[in-house]
Amino acid sequence: MQIRHYKEADAREITTLFHESVHAIDRRFYSDQELESWSPTPPDYARWQARLDLKKPFVALINGQIVGFIELDDDGHIDCLYVHKDYQRRGIGQSLFLYLCDIAKQKGYERLYVEASKGAKTLFDTLGFVTVSENQVARGASVLINFSMERYLKD
């Protein structure tokens, strides 16, 4: 696996990965309606292109295919961490996070924080994050549950 910085040409593949990953989430966590509110069909590729050009995520690739991405905002916020639906539970999310941690430490960040979905909460627990609060987020016709979590970085 290779991890590199985002390129503008990645936008469509990342958008598709995001959309398909959301819609592959276990229905024990979110209903079809909630997933559609989270990531409407079809994806808005133009909006995602603009978003990704601004966020400039780190991208994981296997054999040239994008299999995951993670975003780090200037204040230590992890806005997105998604792994391709066919590559989950293979350490890609953890590898992306460790890469992000190195960057965050180089930039002098002391704290990382995230709003983790029900499905992602276990990963962030494993990565050493602690839950600060449970949130209700209005998206379209749905109210989604996620968790504010944080982790302090140590040298």
The pLDDT score that the predictor gives to residue 140 is 85
List the domains of the chain with CATH numbers: 2-109 (3.40.630.30)
**Average of per-residue pLDDT values in the chain:** 96
pLDDT of amino acid 34: 93
Q: State the helix-helix crossing angle for 45-55 and 11-23, rounded to 10 degrees.
A: 110
Contact status, residue 1 vs residue 61, Cβ threshold 8 Å: yes
What's the pLDDT tens digit per position in 68-121?
999 999 999 999 999 999 999 999 999 999 999 999 999 999 999 999 999 999
Query: Sign of torsion, CA 6 57 64 43?
Result: negative
For the question of whether the overall pTM of this predicted structure is more than 0.85, the answer is yes
CA distance linking residue 4 with residue 85, whole number of Å? 20
Q: Does position 46 have pLDDT exceeding 80, yes or no?
A: yes
φ, ψ of residue 20 in degrees (nearest 5): -65, -35
Cβ contacts of residue 5 below 8 Å, gap of 6+? 56, 58, 59
Asked whether the beta carbons of 63 and 20 are under 8 A apart, the reply is: no
The proportion of the chain whose per-residue pLDDT surpasses 90, expressed as a percent, equals: 95
Instruction: Give me the mean pLDDT over the 25-52 stretch.
Output: 94
